[in-house]
Amino acid sequence: MTGPAGDAPGRPGSRTGGPRGAQPPGCILAIETSCDDTCAAVVTAEGELLSNRIASQGLLHSRYGGVVPEVASRRHLEVLDAVRADALETAGVTLSDIQTVAVTRGPGLIGALLVGLSSAKALAAARALPLVAVDHLHGHVVAGTLGPDALEAPYLCLVASGGHTFIARVDDPARYTVLGSTLDDAAGEAFDKGARLLGLPYPGGPALDRLARGGNGEAFRFPRSAPATTGGRDLDFSFSGLKTALLYKIRDLGEAETERRRADLAASYQRAIVEALAARVRQAIERERLPRLAIGGGVAANSELRERLRTVCEEAGVLISVPPVELCTDNAAMIGAAARFTPAIPYPEYLDLDAAARLP
């Protein structure tokens, strides 16, 4: 199955940024507003990262225990101009130096996406610049291609975030093939739901990671997903049953015992997620026999996952690309990275371009 890069991965298939054409020249100003982080970055066509600025809305949404789409959209409107100006200043360039504007088109929260897309179209149109409409997931896949130690294809990539979890084969940074994806909850969603059950603050993933460091990961045995091994689905994930198992365990323990053993519960729950991800990665390495593995998405910032995948790759004789934490969570640098491999849309053809919560 083929489609634009960033189709929400459902079944194994090829994703591509479209037919290869003229690539974006010079400095690229990238904008990312797919969820609750307002991001802007400047990268060069050669992959040099000049700036990467992020305004987090974590504290704003913590009172609600999760992202409120309308609140996120309004906050993007308030701060995007300042974040963009900060990215330009940090990069030591002005808008006159920008030759291409890149922006996340989807997937994501539709209101949040529209703020970024509208701003990018206005900036590009005012200077008759080309615009690159980037898929958010493609950005995670190629985030490691930036910088002096740029990742080179072919490689495997594990993307694990709040909304998506999949393993992809990348033979060309302009396209990737999904080998397996989540059948229900994403890994990041499982972390957030587990953290909420344990009474941890938003954002749940980092809070659960911190709590787990003081617990015993073998204290409780939570289920690991085991999808069917027929029909080409052996690299898929499933996390919905894990959340339910934690809920039942908390009920069985009772309030007082749960509070006493919260660190053990967090560590054991986290280990179940990490082992499921690591097991699929190990299977993919054995099957695809590629020399490198990259990881991306917010869950890639998890300390236990990073350490476990380093061990898996060392045992398999595979190089691993572990990006800095700021390139794992949502950021505009990865959007600029993907723009390097995605054909630009010339002015004025992009003026009627719309955002998409899910790309078709």
pLDDT tens for each residue of 221-266: 998 876 555 455 689 999 989 999 999 999 999 999 999 999 999 9
DSSP bridge partners of 168: 157, 178
pLDDT at 82 (0 to 100): 98
> Do 123 and 161 have their domain in common?
no
> Do 206 and 117 have their domain in common?
no
User: What is the pTM (predicted TM-score) of this model?
Assistant: 0.89
Question: What is the mean predicted confidence (pLDDT) over 289-313?
Answer: 96
> Is pLDDT above 60 for 5?
no
> Do 86 and 104 have their domain in common?
yes
CA–CA gap between residue 269 and residue 209 (Å, rounded):
10
Question: What is the mean predicted confidence (pLDDT) over 99-128?
Answer: 97
Question: What is the mean predicted confidence (pLDDT) over 8-31?
Answer: 55
> Do 115 and 190 have their domain in common?
no
> Do 185 and 298 have their domain in common?
yes
Residue 242 sits at the vertex; the CA angle it makes with 299 and 310, to the nearest 5 degrees, is: 35
CATH for 25: 3.30.420.40
Mean pLDDT of the chain: 90
> Do 207 and 119 have their domain in common?
no
Q: What is the pLDDT of residues 114-141, one digit of tens each?
A: 999 999 999 999 999 999 999 999 999 9
Q: Is residue 350 part of a domain?
A: no
pLDDT at 113 (0 to 100): 98
Q: Is residue 254 part of a domain?
A: yes
Q: Is residue 352 part of a domain?
A: no
- 160 or 14, greater pLDDT: 160
> Do 176 and 244 have their domain in common?
yes
Q: Is residue 280 part of a domain?
A: yes
Question: What is the mean predicted confidence (pLDDT) over 312-331?
Answer: 93
Q: Is residue 271 part of a domain?
A: yes
Range of the domain at 277: 155-325
Q: Is residue 109 part of a domain?
A: yes
Q: Is residue 1 part of a domain?
A: no
Domain count, the chain: 2
> Is pLDDT above 80 for 4?
no
Q: Is residue 235 part of a domain?
A: yes
> Is pLDDT above 90 for 92?
yes
> Do 204 and 134 have their domain in common?
no
pLDDT at 323 (0 to 100): 85
Q: What is the pLDDT of residues 180-202, one digit of tens each?
A: 999 999 999 999 999 999 999 98
Question: What is the mean predicted confidence (pLDDT) over 146-169?
Answer: 94
> Do 107 and 173 have their domain in common?
no
> Do 134 and 179 have their domain in common?
no
> Do 141 and 30 have their domain in common?
yes
> Is pLDDT above 90 for 63?
no
User: Residue 270: how many CB atoms within 10 A of its CB?
Assistant: 27
pLDDT at 17 (0 to 100): 43
> Do 169 and 316 have their domain in common?
yes
Question: What is the mean predicted confidence (pLDDT) over 15-44?
Answer: 76
